[in-house]
A and B are shown apart, each in its own frame.
Chain A
Amino acid sequence: MFRDATLIAGKDLRVELRSKVTLQQVAPFAILVLILFGVALDPDRGILTRASAGLFWVAVLLCGLLAIQRAFTIEAADGGRDALRLSGLDPAGIFLGKAAAIFVQLAALEGVLAIGVVVMYGTAVTGVVLLLATCLAATAGLAAAGTLYGVLAAGLRVRETLLPILLLPVLAPVLIGATKAFEAALGGAAADGWPWCGLLVTFALLYTTFGTLAFGPLLEES
């Protein structure tokens, strides 16, 4: 399973490195979202600073949708899904590999967004350990749930519009938990943020387990 996951993750990341979609399209989109928030709320810079945790995670969610769509678009082209089914790869390995590739891309985007929030919104960084732990747990949850719903929507003709409708409500706990944990870390009360981080870890574990079990049937049926 882990050999297959490594193979899939390596392939997906190589496709992204060659196509540069994340670098040339998703990353600029992420910066654009931050700028638009800034333009909309600029009259009161205090609001931007106070809301930076929520704005950061909304931007991550929007970019995440693009990364997840992209991960399954490359399989939809030229019979990739059938080729994957014929490959003999373990479906659980395919799930873990695709989730790992999305995780890596989102983590890189979060780095870009973090710099953007600090520079544009003037947010002071405190509670670094909690911030990093929150990023790891939330990104893992996003990647796992996104991969699961991505394959569900991938077989449908309306996948581009269906995926956000299916996925965004499911990711509400991630948005809430990550925002609360970030607010606690940035507000100097890191102890209040750890329970939220625990919620994110639970979410990630649940979706990783469920995805490992359900990805095979979903790949077959969707």
Chain B
Amino acid sequence: MEPVVQLHGAVTLLGRFPALAGIDLEVAAGEIVLLRGPNGAGKTTLLRLCAGLLPVARGDVRVLGHDLTDRRQARAVRRRVGLLGHATGLYDELTVADNVRFWGRAAGAAPEDITGAMAACTLDGRLAGLPVVHLSAGQRRRTSLACLLARRPKLWLLDEPHAGLDQDGRDLLDGLVRRAVAAGATVLLASHELDRAEALADRVVTIVGGTTDAAVPPATPAEPLLVP
């Protein structure tokens, strides 16, 4: 089976400047791969490249079977990936429910997927009617996660996904990731919270100076599947 993510000698551009130093990476279907490395190593850039948001300046990049050197194929990839990044993409003036509904409908999600995503992120109570501007950082993160969940992406790209979440939120996120993988999704995540992220990952890839250093097994075995 073709890997979900295949990068060979990939270099992208941040503005006019090259980023990533010819990175090689393969992620198989159903895998959870953790990217670790120091600040500025290129983890976020790599995730954005895989999402089809950055151009391929050199090398080969294939994601979900699409060749991202062809910019037209990038749009097809974007529909099938979910990126949980530092920015949430939420509209402050709209309520939690409005935001999840909007991004879900934009991706063609069915109404039951949208309500299901909100329930899965425990946003279906009083929070649903609250404008996003009044939310805490953790609640914003959960709303953003619900938007991603409503899209039912095949590839989850998670950039510091645990940041801002409390203990319950982190457990919730890890459970959702495992459920998504059990349902056929693939996950690529970047994190500095190594204990928790390594427990979640099947494999760890270290990035230094824009290139992969070595693939090592996670420090601890993955926790059993959480099924609510």
Contact B106 A89 (CB under 8 A): yes
Q: Which of the segments B29-37, B83-91, B172-180, B220-228 contacts the partner chain?
A: B83-91
Known A-B contacts A82-B53, A86-B51; A7 and B106 likewise in contact (beta carbons under 8 Å): yes
* Any A CB within 8 A of the CB of B79: yes
Q: Does A14 contact B (CB under 8 A)?
A: yes
A11:B91 contact, CB within 8 angstroms: yes
Instruction: Determine whether B131 belongs to the interface, using a CB cutoff of 8 Å to chain A.
Output: yes
Report the bound CA distance from A83 to B107 in whole Å.
11
A78 vs B48: C-alpha distance when bound (angstroms): 16
- Given A15-B94, A88-B75, are A83 and B89 also a contact pair (CB < 8 Å)? yes
Which of A4, A18, A87, A220 lies in contact with B94, CB distance below 8 A?
Answer: A18
Nearest-CB residue, chain B, relative to A91: B75
Query: Which of chain A's residues have a CB closer than 8 A to the CB of B131?
Result: 18
Considering only CB atoms, which chain B residue lies closest to A216 in the complex?
B75
CA distance A4 to B107 in the complex (A): 10
Q: A18-B131, A74-B91 are in contact. Are A88 and B106 (CB under 8 A)?
A: yes
Answer whether residue A161 sits at the interface, using C-beta atoms and an 8 A cutoff: no
- State how many residues of chain B have any CB contact under 8 Å with chain A: 28
Q: Are B107 and A82 in contact (CB under 8 A)?
A: no
Counting chain A CB atoms within 10 Å of each CB, the highest count among B88, B89, B131 belongs to: B89
CB proximity to B under 8 Å, residues A48-67: none
Residues in chain B near residue A24, CB distance under 8 A = none
Q: Does B81 contact A (CB under 8 A)?
A: yes
What's the least CB distance linking B16 to chain A, in Å?
A: 12
- Tell me which of B48, B51, B93 has the highest count of chain A C-beta atoms within 10 A of its own C-beta: B93
What is the minimal beta-carbon distance from A129 to any residue of chain B, in angstroms?
37
Q: Are A79 and B89 in contact (CB under 8 A)?
A: yes
Known contacts A7-B105, A85-B78, A88-B78; is-contact A78 B53 (Cβ 8 Å) = no
B87 (CB) vs chain A CBs: closest residue: A79
Whether B78 contacts A18 by the Cβ 8 Å rule is no
A74 to B81, CA, bound (A): 23
* Contact between chains at B103 and A14 (CB < 8 Å): no
B213 within 8 A of A: no
Considering the chains assembled together, what is the distance between the CA atoms of A18 and B53 in angstroms? 30
Q: Which of B91, B92, B98, B107 contacts A87 (CB 8 A)?
A: B107
Check if A78 sits within 8 Å of B98, measured CB to CB: no
Q: Is A77 an interface residue (CB 8 A)?
A: yes
CA separation between A201 and B108, bound complex, in Å? 34
Q: Considering the chains assembled together, what is the distance between the CA atoms of A11 and B107 in angstroms? A: 14
- How many residues of chain A have a CB within 8 Å of chain B? 21
* Residues in B neighbouring A15, C-beta threshold 8 A: 91, 93-94
The minimal Cβ–Cβ distance linking A3 to chain B, given in whole angstroms, is: 9
Q: Mark A1-33, 1 if CB is under 8 A from B, else 0.
A: 000100100010011001100000000000000
| A15-B94, A19-B93 as given contacts; A88 in contact with B87, CB under 8 Å | no
Complex interface: chain A residues within 8 A of B103 (CB):
83, 87
Contacts of A7 in B (CB 8 A): 102, 105-106
Given the complex, which residues of A lie within 8 Å of B83, measured CB to CB?
82, 86
Of the candidates A77, A79, A87, the one whose C-beta lies within 8 Å of that of B106 is A87
Closest to A12 in B: B91
Residue in B53, B85, B108 whose CB lies within 8 Å of A85: B53
Counting CB contacts under 8 A, is A122 at the interface? no
Cα(A6)–Cα(B163), bound, Å: 34
Interface, chain B (partner A; CB < 8 A): 48, 51-53, 71, 75, 78-79, 81, 83, 85-94, 98, 102-103, 105-108, 131
Binding site for B on A (CB under 8 A): 4, 7, 11, 14-15, 18-19, 74, 77-80, 82-89, 220
Q: What are 18 A-B residue pairs whose CB atoms fall within 8 Å in the complex?
A: A7-B102, A11-B94, A11-B98, A15-B91, A15-B93, A15-B94, A18-B93, A19-B93, A74-B91, A79-B88, A80-B89, A82-B48, A82-B53, A83-B89, A84-B89, A86-B81, A87-B78, A88-B75
Besides A79-B89, A88-B79, 7 new A-B residue pairs in contact (Cβ under 8 A), listed by A number: A4-B106, A11-B94, A79-B87, A79-B88, A82-B85, A86-B83, A87-B106
